[in-house]
Amino acid sequence: MLLWHWINRLSHILAEQRNTTDSLRERVAQLEGRIRDTDCPVGYQRFQRTCYRFSTNQKPYNESQATCHGEGGRLATVKNNETQNFLANHVKATTRAHTWIGLSDQEAEGLWVWDDGTLLVGDGIWGTGEPNGRTRENCAHISPGFHNGHWNDVACSMSNYYICEVLA
């Protein structure tokens, strides 16, 4: 009888430990998920697999680019409509002002290159009639007003807000 009592007691303790272990595993999985969702540097916010920082000050294109590079990133690249919508909606909801993305044809007129070194594929997400600046306007920004968040080419010497990105 005493042996049965101890076996029963040990079975009960073992079941409690299993429940505790299962609860802890579930909690660890939740916390790991949160870490993955917030693995961006301070001041950046995650969208898909990229972290973005929306500047609160304005600089010319090359200074904006240097700032992003100094943070271990680059000016934002827009490779799909989802990213375009995320960035444009954020700009329209916050600064509502022209904001640099990492796209320019400074090296060769008409050859639009992203800050990551890749060429613009397809027609891009230009505003109506853009790009239209020829050799005077070699840098692209999101234009939240007139072009409703689409891109516009302007002089790189203009001071605009900018968007940095780093991979998550």
Give the DSSP letter string of 144-159. Answer: SSTTTTEEEEE-TTS-
pTM of the complete model: 0.77
For 16, 33, 57, 158, the CA distances from 30, given in Å and listed in that order, are 21, 5, 36, 45
**pLDDT at 146 > cutoff 80:** no
CA angle 144, 145, 149 (to 5 degrees): 30
**Within a 10 A sphere around the Cβ of 152, how many other Cβ atoms?**
22
Q: Report the pLDDT averaged over residues 142-162.
A: 93
5 φ, ψ to 5°?
A: -60, -45
Second CATH level (architecture) for the domain 45-167? Roll (3.10)
**DSSP for 96-129?**
-S-EEEEEE-SSSTT--EETTSPBPPTT-SBPTT
Q: Give 91 or 26, the one with higher predicted confidence.
A: 91
Q: Say yes or no to pLDDT of 14 above 80.
A: no
Quick one: pLDDT band at residue 128, thresholds 50, 70, 90? very high
pLDDT of residue 35: 53
Per-residue pLDDT at 28 exceeds 90: no
Which pLDDT score, from 0 to 100, does residue 38 have? Answer: 63
Q: Which positions ≥6 away from 64 have C-beta within 8 Å? A: 55, 75, 100, 160, 162
**For the residues 11-18, what does the mean pLDDT come to?**
76
Whether the pLDDT of residue 133 is over 90: the answer is: no
Tokens of 3: 């042996």
Looking up tokens 């989802």 gives 82
Of the chain, the percentage scoring pLDDT greater than 90 comes to 70
Mean pLDDT of the 70-96 span: 96
User: How much is the pLDDT for 137?
Assistant: 96
Helix, strand, or coil (residue 58): coil
